[in-house]
């Protein structure tokens, strides 16, 4: 009888310790709907944007910003290069940094097609979580 009681106590202790040690997913802080401005430095234009960020289902270290993948590293993420026709058509690279309910992104644009060629300068976003 003492052995059974000891085993039950051990099992309860194990379950309580194990459940309190669940790992936090560092992607959670980025997930949601974000609104703000997208700026293009070289041509001096800005756009109002809404961005939806979700967790990747196939990679536990990535988030999806729209259809674009980014690898999360604590309080920032880095984009994999992606093509976009929003604002300036081209290939985008960059990173985003979170500070509370604000997200700042920046990166570079390059293009080898019309209407722009070569290094197209920097892009920036300033976003607030909704």
pLDDT at 38: 92
CB 6 within 8 A of CB 102: no
CB 80 within 8 A of CB 61: no
Per-residue confidence band for 90, with pLDDT thresholds at 50, 70 and 90: confident
pLDDT at 17: 47
* pLDDT above 80 for 44: yes
Kindly report which listed range (9-23, 25-39, 64-78, 112-126) carries the lowest average pLDDT score.
Answer: 9-23
- The set of long-range contacts for 63-70, using a CB threshold of 8 Å and a minimum separation of 24, is 63/27, 63/30, 63/31, 65/96, 68/92, 70/95, 70/96
Q: What angle do CA 74, 80, 84 make, to 5 degrees?
A: 125
* pLDDT above 50 for 24: yes
pLDDT, average across residues 15-40: 81
| Half-sphere CA count of 121, side-chain side, radius 13 A | 12
Q: Which domains are assigned to the chain?
A: 24-129 (2.40.128)
């Amino acid at each position: 009888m003492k052995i059974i009681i000891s085993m039950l106590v051990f099992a309860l202790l194990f379950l309580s310790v194990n459940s309190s040690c669940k790992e936090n997913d560092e992607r959670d802080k980025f997930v949601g709907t974000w609104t703000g401005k997208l700026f293009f430095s070289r041509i001096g234009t800005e756009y109002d944007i809404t961005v939806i960020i979700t967790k990747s289902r196939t990679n536990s270290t990535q988030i999806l910003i729209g259809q674009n993948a980014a690898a999360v590293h604590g309080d920032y993420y880095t984009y994999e290069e992606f093509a976009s026709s929003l604002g300036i058509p081209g290939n985008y690279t960059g990173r985003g940094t979170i500070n509370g309910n604000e997200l700042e992104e920046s990166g570079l644009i390059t293009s080898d097609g019309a209407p722009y060629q070569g290094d197209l300068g920097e892009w920036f976003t300033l976003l607030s979580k909704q």
